[in-house]
Amino acid sequence: MKTIDKGTLTRTILLWLAILNQVLTALGKNPLPLDDNTVSTLITAVFALWAWWKNNDFTHAAKKGTELTKSLKNGDSVQVVKASDADHEFTEGGRMMSSIENMIAWMQARKGKVTYSMTSRMGPTSYDCSSSVFFAMIAGGFLSVGSMGNTETLFGMSGTKLKEISRGEVQRGDIFISGTPGGSAGSDGHTGIFLSNGSFIHCSYTHNRIAIDTNDAYMSTRLPHHFYRIVGSGSANTDDKPQMVTLNLDGQFGNATAKRLQEYFDTAGKDGVISHQYKQTFNQNIYAAQFDSSLTGSNVVKALQRFLGIGQDGLFGQATIKALQKHLGTTQDGIISPVSDSVRELQRRLNANKL
């Protein structure tokens, strides 16, 4: 094969693929699933055909194209330029336009077809908010294949790969990160990609799928919102950390365990506090409890009681403890001890995201 300008041709191919996906989306059709392998194959085939077309030898080009296809199917070694390795530096108004549509196409192709899971976040049937954004950025060529992290990882890209912008500046292809840098793990963080200033696509716990929303409340009503523009491509410092906080199996019913329980049942106010409990000897070691005499009870305890199929007064009483112990398969003494086998089993199941 003759030497050709791979950078120019790659950019042209990626641009036309992006335009094609825009047309398909406008027509209400599913965009092409332009994963790294698909784009690599297309680019490789075009490189081969273009090189021989330069010699006006169409018969030879067709023959070489067939040979190339067979080689790809057989897994033979062929010259491939991956989408993630391509030069994406052609811009429009300072914005990197080459891969925004491919990034969005990755999300659009999975809209309504996958579920939300913080434990099974690596696909292909489920993702969480941050893993879906990472996979989409990889599909767009903004991150190297294999990059992964959480909202904390994304916050860490500010100033290098991401540039913080105002809400009013948001355009198609920008991203939001909800939460506070340094404290956005678990339900304290959320992220997604803008389709326009007024709509965004995200993998949502509330919807249990990848969905499109037009109300900023779906970014979170309790967390601060931050907005970023992607300004770099290629490799980045990623840490492969999951979005979910993994509990220590210490058997102590503290705030971290209470918060994971609130996340599991998606109750309001994920603050790690089990509010309005009545203190008695059998529940005094629930360290996350807020004890008072109101008998109001807690939303997360009501959710747990509903799950266990018992009365729902919101109070962590002896009957609730026994029902939980029975469900967990531990000793049914109706007592939460300072270090409890029941709590340890609860923590283990919460880490697996399956009570």
- What string of DSSP letters covers 138-149? HHTTSS-TT---
C-alpha angle with apex 105: 103 to 110, nearest 5 degrees? 110
| Cβ pair 208, 132 in contact under 8 A | no
What SS3 class is residue 52? helix
With both helix axes pointing from N to C terminus, report the angle between 299-308 and 318-328 in degrees, rounded to the nearest 10. 50
- What string of DSSP letters covers 251-294? ----HHHHHHHHHHHT-S--SS-EEEEPP-TTTTT-TTEEE-S-
| Cβ pair 257, 247 in contact under 8 A | yes
With both helix axes pointing from N to C terminus, report the angle between 341-351 and 318-328 in degrees, rounded to the nearest 10. 60
What SS3 class is residue 343? helix
The active-site residue out of 60, 88, 129, 226 is 129
Q: Is 60 a catalytic residue?
A: no
Scan for tokens 């979910």, then name that residue. Answer: 244
The active-site residue out of 60, 88, 202, 203 is 202
Q: Is 225 a catalytic residue?
A: no
Q: Is 129 a catalytic residue?
A: yes
What SS3 class is residue 327? helix
The active-site residue out of 88, 190, 226, 276 is 190
> Would you report the helix, strand and coil content of the chain in percent, each value rounded to 5?
40, 15, 45
DSSP 223: S
Question: Which residues are known to be catalytic?
Answer: 129, 190, 202
